[in-house]
Amino acid sequence: MSSAEGKASAPRHDDTDADDAVFKALASATRRRMLDALKTSDRTTGELCDRFPELDRTTVLQHLRVLERAELVIGRRVGRARRLTLAPLPIKRIHDGWIDEYARAAVDLLDRLDA
Name residues of the chain where pLDDT drops below 50: 1-13
- Rounded to two decimals, the pTM is 0.75
Q: How far is 65 from 73, CA to CA, in rounded Å?
A: 9
Q: Where are the domains of the chain?
A: 15-87
Question: CATH classification of 15-87, choosing from 3.40.50.10490, 3.10.290.10, 1.10.10.10, 1.10.287.70?
Answer: 1.10.10.10
Identify the pLDDT of residue 14. 54
Could you read off the pLDDT of 11-20 as tens digits, one per residue? 444 578 899 9
| Full 3-state SS string of the chain | CCHHHCCCCCCCCCCHHHHHHHHHHHCCHHHHHHHHHHHHCCEEHHHHHHCCCCCCHHHHHHHHHHHHHCCCEEEEEECCEEEEEECCHHHHHHHHHHHHHHHHHHHHHHHHHHC
Identify the pLDDT of residue 11. 45
**How many other C-beta atoms are found inside a 10 Å radius of the C-beta of residue 95?**
13
